[in-house]
Amino acid sequence: MATPRSDRSAPSSPRSDLPSGRPAGRFSAAPIDVDRARSETPGCAHVAHLNHAGCSLAPQPVLDAQADWLAAEAITGGYELAADRADDRAATYDEVASLIGARPDEIAVVENATFAWHQAFWSLDLQPGDRVLTADVEYATGFVSMLQARRRLGVHIEVIPDDEHGQVSVEALARRLDDDRAGPVGLVALTHAPTNGGLVNPAEEVGRLTRAAGVPYLLDACQSVGQMPVDVAEIGCDLLSTTGRKYLRGPRGTGFLYVRRELGQRLQPPFLDLHAATWVAPDRYEMRPDARRFENWETNFAGKIGLGVAIDYARAWGMAAIWDRVRALASRLRAELEEIPGVTVRDIGAEQCGIVTFTADGIEARQVKQALAARSINVTTSTVASTRFDMEARGLHEIVRASVHYYNDEAEITRFCESVRLIGL
Ligand SMILES: Cc1ncc(COP(=O)(O)O)c(C=O)c1O
């Protein structure tokens, strides 16, 4: 397995010690050295962090890379440093591309998953009467935009029902895609792993259908990238949005958008600036040929560098190894929670990820969160307003969300469950 960057001496430039070839990381399933991962995560000494679906604890190399950049910026000048270290900045695109099986020119590095998703959604040339197909666990931000598009553009929104496991029904989607009489399908927008539970939607099966139908496919991978292998070619999506701060363990205020090259060259982002396009004549502009037409000029450079280092760090552990450990820890957590009287685990789906949700009889989710915080255990809650269709269908208003990552250890899971057991006794 490739050595995580923190094993090497502190680099003068955040990227000066990158291995020349690609680390074997992405394909490696060697078990994670949890002790080492924890020792490289300063926050582990202070909290039991089970809030990776909110924001991870950053590993030391990610902190170092940002601190180094900021310190250099302060003495060199922001523009000057950006020019001097253009290779470091470019390396972030290489990292993102390698992580998801894309090409660097198909990547836009932006501020967050929301901006990435919106740039993609509003760049599609949706017409009145076009159908937008989505699923039950669609995140509020995406669905609100679809409602806005219905009002502004006259598109029709169709929410595909779930199958018996609670994941989007592939059969139902196939039928809707085939239904020519209902009108053209302008987009399939799917959330890979929702904000409110362990479900993993069958993104690849959806991709097989959208490819066969020739329909654009936008995948919200905000909660999946970083905890499981995600490969855009295997999935067959055309557009993918995600964030840096969650399972990738990158800086806040970072995210990225993947745009399949052939599609990207035909899309007009809703916001264009002088980075995304060049004003070539008084009445004419030309857009960049690559996915950076979805970015804007001013950005958090330290964050961008930190994102690249976070991805390098994750890939050095190996996405397969990370995914194995995340699933094992989450299964253990679910099993232990199910043993606690009055606790109900709420996760659905044939395949489940590191996001574990539950309710406790007679105790509000936010009270559980507060009680755990008093014991230095971080979790969060998820409400009906984030995933309204799914939560209403299951009669849920608010649930506790405890999301694990590979560097959580078994002792934390035990301490967590003991603490939950004590709440309300
Ligand atoms: C499924 C899903 N999509 C999108 C987002 C938005 O991500 P960001 O806050 O980075 O814009 C979130 C945030 O929690 C999410 O859970």
101-131: burial string, b at 16+ Cβ within 10 Å, e else:
ebbbebbbbbbbbbbbbbbbbbbbebeeebb
| Nearest atom (ligand 1) to Cα of 115 | 11
Measuring CA to CA, which residue among 8, 32, 58 is closest to residue 247? 58
Successive 10-residue mean pLDDT values, the chain, 425 residues: 35 34 45 97 98 98 98 98 96 98 98 98 98 97 98 98 97 96 96 98 98 98 98 98 98 98 96 97 98 97 98 98 98 98 97 98 97 98 98 98 98 97 82
Separation between Cα atoms, residue 169 and residue 219, nearest integer Å: 16
Alpha-carbon distance 316 to 295, whole Å? 28
In the chain, the amino acid numbered 228 is: M
Atom of ligand 1 nearest to the CA of 245: 10
Mutate to test the pocket of ligand 1, among 196, 223, 242 (most ligand atoms within 8 A of CB): 223
Ligand 1 atom nearest 117 alpha carbon: 4
pLDDT score at 275? 97
What confidence score (pLDDT) does residue 425 get? Answer: 58
Question: Domains of the chain (ranges plus CATH)?
Answer: 68-316 (3.40.640.10), 319-423 (3.90.1150.10)
Q: What is the pLDDT of residue 180?
A: 86
Which of 111, 134, 243 has the most ligand 1 atoms within 8 A of CB, as the residue to mutate?
A: 243
Q: How confident is the model over 381-396, as pLDDT tens digits?
A: 999 999 999 999 999 9
CA nearest ligand 1 atom 3, residue = 222
Question: In angstroms, what is the span from residue 114 Cα to ligand 1's centroid?
Answer: 6
Q: Which of 315, 295, 329, 327 is nearest to 250 (CA)?
A: 315
Ligand 1, closest atom to CA 244?
Answer: 10
CA separation for the pair 265, 216 (Å, rounded): 14
Distance (Å, whole) CA 47 – CA 213? 48
Q: CA-CA distance, 208 to 301, in Å (whole number)?
A: 37
State the pTM of this model. 0.93
CA-based R_g, the chain, Å: 22
Give the Cα separation of 32 and 318 in Å (integer): 9
Q: Which atom of ligand 1 is nearest to the CA of 112?
A: 10
Q: Tally the residues of the chain.
A: 425
- Ligand 1 pocket: which of 111, 138, 141 to mutate (most atoms within 8 A of CB): 141
Q: Rounded to the nearest whole angstrom, what is the distance from the C-alpha of residue 11 to the centroid of ligand 1? A: 32
- In angstroms, the CA 93 to CA 86 distance is 11
Question: Given the CA of residue 195, which atom of ligand 1 is nearest to it?
Answer: 16
Q: Which atom of ligand 1 is nearest to the CA of 220?
A: 3
C-alpha 20 – ligand 1 centre gap (Å): 33
Cα–Cα distance measured from residue 398 to residue 391, given in angstroms and rounded to the nearest whole number: 8
- Tell me the sheet residues that pair with 187: 132
Residues 6 or more apart whose CB falls under 8 angstroms from that of 29 comprise: 318, 320, 321, 324
CA 45 / ligand 1 centre spacing (Å)? 27
Pairing status of strand 131-135 against strand 156-160: parallel
Closest residue CA from atom 14 of ligand 1: 195
Strands (DSSP E) contained in 52-203 are: 107-110, 131-135, 156-160, 185-191
How far is it, in rounded angstroms, from Cα 75 to Cα 87?
Answer: 19
Average pLDDT of every residue of the chain: 93
Protein residues with CB under 6 Å of any ligand 1 atom: 112-114, 139, 141, 191, 194-195, 220, 222-223, 243, 255
* Residue (of 298, 357, 398) closest to 79 by Cα position: 298
Residue with tokens 């055309």: 238
How far apart CA 193 and CA 354 sit, in angstroms, is 10
Q: Which of 56, 134, 139 to mutate to test the pocket of ligand 1 (most atoms within 8 A of CB)?
A: 139
> What is the Cα–Cα distance from 6 to 106, expressed in whole angstroms?
29
Q: Whose CA is nearest to atom 8 of ligand 1?
A: 113
CA distance 121 to 133: 13
Ligand 1 atom showing the smallest separation from residue 255 Cα: 10
Check if the beta carbon of residue 117 is closer than 8 Å to that of residue 140: no
Query: Hey, whose CA ends up nearest to atom 16 of ligand 1?
Result: 195
Probe ligand 1: pick from 109, 222, 256, 391, max atoms within 8 Å of CB?
A: 222
CB 390 within 8 A of CB 136: yes
Q: Which residues pair with 107 in a beta bridge?
A: 258
pLDDT at 288: 97
pLDDT given at position 333: 98
Task: Measure 360 CA to ligand 1 centroid, in angstroms.
Answer: 25
Residue 385 alpha carbon to ligand 1 centre in Å: 13
| Residue to mutate (ligand 1; options 168, 192, 195, 389; most atoms within 8 A of CB) | 195
* Residue 3 confidence (pLDDT): 37
In this structure, how many other beta carbons lie within 10 angstroms of the beta carbon of residue 142? 23
